Structure 1
Amino acid sequence: MLPPVDLRPPFNITRTSHVVLHVADLAKSREFYVNVIGLVVSDEDDQTCYLRGLAEACHHSLVLVQTNGEATCKRLGFRVFFEEDLDLAYQFFRSEGLPAEWVEVAHQGRTLHVSDPIGTKIELCATMETRERQYLNREIFKGAHAQRLDHVQIFAPDAYALCEFYSRLGFRNSEYLAHGDKLLGAFMYRKGTCLDLAIVENEGPCLHHFAYTVSESHNIFDACDFAGIYGYGTEVERGPGRHGPGGMLFVYLRDPDGHRIEIFNSHYQTIDIEIEPVRWDAGSLSTSVRWGLPAPTRWYFEATKFEAVPLIPAVQKPNPETLESYVQKQLLAKNNV
């Protein structure tokens, strides 16, 4: 069902590091991420804003870049452990016939731009400038008090094939979604918790969401309250609820450009080698458990495109139970009583 994992991969990715997004109105997006999500600004100018969570020492986990065009995702960032891992990564991607080029990126050490087999744009670095952690400076806290970037989720046209690629890079599965023998979703990690990279089968590559942790469960409701205060009440897209995979409380919101962000409270550790991945029946592709309504249709199908990357149709198009289909089914049942 799951591809084998290379536990001694060709280079050592340690965690999800950062997300770089195009935005149509930098000031408006800054306001959303500071006042609703609770991130802090590390540096900014009239074209770029660098943000981080309250518990993050590294310079940025989210970069907002002003654009006059489409609001796409420019890059997903991963950290590697040593500088030499960058050289090994360069050799690996070139040997696979995949793009790899050295670039200069502000506030980061030596940086490598690569693409995976479906075209997902990735940025690798080993070091980044640091700033003082702000998690004890409660007088500056705003919004949902977001602590740190935890993971990203992408759409891929063939979930198994891309899971196989990242398994070769040392990513292990904590849990997965399957229907019969068909893998539809893989929850993969490097840092020893449930997630760094989630892969779900759908037209892609696209960024479905990126997720920040919060320390207190009530901060999830704070995100909803501040979304309403700042005019984004209708962009509280899914939840609050509790996931089955990972077991965490969550809410999903859409930012001014429609980029999707998840706020969630925590998940378990997966460091030990004997831990086996947990299988979830994905006949409906629902990742809620025990309580909470299904997600709306747009949560399953809308996502952020990557800059200048063509979309590939999915091998198997999702057919989940959505909020709309659930309500319709309940109305039909009521009318038939």
Structure 2
Amino acid sequence: MEKLRPKKLGHLVLMVRDIHKSARFYTEVVGLTVSDWIGDQMVFLRAGQDHHDLALSQIPAGSPGMNDLPHYGRPGVEHFSYLVEDRAEIDRTVEVLKAHGVEIVRGIGKHGPGENLFLVFKDPDGNNVEVYCEMTQIPPGSEYEAKVWERNIDSFDQYRFKHFVVPPPQAVVDAKSGKS
């Protein structure tokens, strides 16, 4: 049976209790650079040229535990990722995952911050694993300036679910339609 073809371990997204405190830690202590924010809910950080190799996501206030993806109500890993060659490889990945009976969680989409294509699926322990490609590169000396994206559908998926191979997360659909 076919296998996925990852090129390297990519970025990690962590759920955090206090995004501003964590952002200060990762910039002032660890030495990462802010690439972008989504409101005050997510921050994308880099050590090298990839737009992000670490992203932090604020745990929603009053979270009772796990709620609808892509947010969890506890600190820890939301997902980790592997770089793949291109969009054709992500399309092939969908078929490989289906052939193996692997649950696909979200995607194929295109994030706003980082501009990367994504597909997220579950491993046997329920961890979210993402394959991605085409991430924005920020070379040393670049005049790239961090921006603050609104927390909306365009920051989550610029394709607006047109290429999703599974139904989108309900929380994102509700946000798109203006529901609370």
The normalised TM-score by structure 1 is 0.43
How much does 1:223 deviate? 1.6
Quote the Cα distance in structure 2 between the aligned partners of 1:231 and 1:204: 28
Q: Which amino acid in structure 1 is aligned with residue 125 of structure 2?
A: D
Point out the structure with max Rg over C-alpha.
1
Contact 1:212 1:264 in 2 (8 A): yes
Note closer, same or farther for the CA distance 1:214–1:282 as it changes in structure 2 (3 Å cut). same
Q: Which amino acid in structure 2 is aligned with residue 186 of structure 1?
A: V
State yes or no: 1:322 paired with 2:172. Answer: yes
How much does 1:262 deviate? 0.6
- Residue 218 (structure 1) aligns with: 88
Q: Which amino acid in structure 1 is aligned with residue 130 of structure 2?
A: E
Of residues 14, 20, 23, the one that matches 1:163 is 23
Of residues 29, 34, 37, the one that matches 1:173 is 34
Of residues 53, 61, 64, the one that matches 1:196 is 53
Q: How does 1:117-196 map to 2 (within 5 A)?
A: 142-168=2-28, 169-178=30-39, 183-196=40-53
Cα displacement string for residues 199-247 of structure 1 (whole angstroms, at most 9, x for unaligned residues): 0001332100001111121111122111111112xx1110111111111
- Residue 46 (structure 1) aligns with: none
- Residue 70 (structure 1) aligns with: none
Quote the Cα distance in structure 1 between the aligned partners of 2:90 and 2:32: 28
Cα displacement string for residues 104-135 of structure 1 (whole angstroms, at most 9, x for unaligned residues): xxxxxxxxxxxxxxxxxxxxxxxxxxxxxxxx
Contact 2:107 2:119 in 1 (8 A): yes
Quote the Cα distance in structure 2 between the aligned partners of 1:326 and 1:268: 26
Quote the Cα distance in structure 2 between the aligned partners of 1:176 and 1:167: 14
Any stretches of 5+ residues in structure 2 without a counterpart? 60-72
What is the DSSP-based 3-state SS (H/G/I as helix, E as strand, rest coil) of the residue aligned with 2:145?
A: coil
Quote the Cα distance in structure 1 between the aligned partners of 2:56 and 2:175: 25
Quote the Cα distance in structure 2 between the aligned partners of 1:269 and 1:230: 33
Of residues 227, 235, 244, the one that matches 2:97 is 227
Note closer, same or farther for the CA distance 1:295–1:156 as it changes in structure 2 (3 Å cut). farther
Cα displacement string for residues 184-206 of structure 1 (whole angstroms, at most 9, x for unaligned residues): 11000102211111000013321
Quote the Cα distance in structure 1 between the aligned partners of 2:100 and 2:136: 33
What is the DSSP-based 3-state SS (H/G/I as helix, E as strand, rest coil) of the residue aligned with 1:322?
A: helix
The normalised TM-score by structure 2 is 0.78
Contact 1:177 1:285 in 2 (8 A): no
Contact 1:163 1:186 in 2 (8 A): yes
Any stretches of 5+ residues in structure 1 without a counterpart? 1-34, 36-141, 298-320, 331-337
How much does 1:291 deviate? 2.7
Cα displacement string for residues 163-201 of structure 1 (whole angstroms, at most 9, x for unaligned residues): 0110112110111111xxxx2110001022111110000
Q: How does 1:239-278 map to 2 (within 5 A)?
A: 239-270=107-138, 271-272=140-141, 274-278=143-147
Quote the Cα distance in structure 1 between the aligned partners of 2:22 and 2:109: 28
Quote the Cα distance in structure 1 between the aligned partners of 2:146 and 2:112: 13
Q: Which amino acid in structure 2 is aligned with residue 250 of structure 1?
A: F
Aligned residues: 159
- Calculate percent identity across the aligned residue pairs: 25
RMSD value, Cα: 2.5
Quote the Cα distance in structure 2 between the aligned partners of 1:229 and 1:144: 11
- Residue 205 (structure 1) aligns with: 75
Contact 1:144 1:220 in 2 (8 A): no
Contact 1:211 1:262 in 2 (8 A): yes
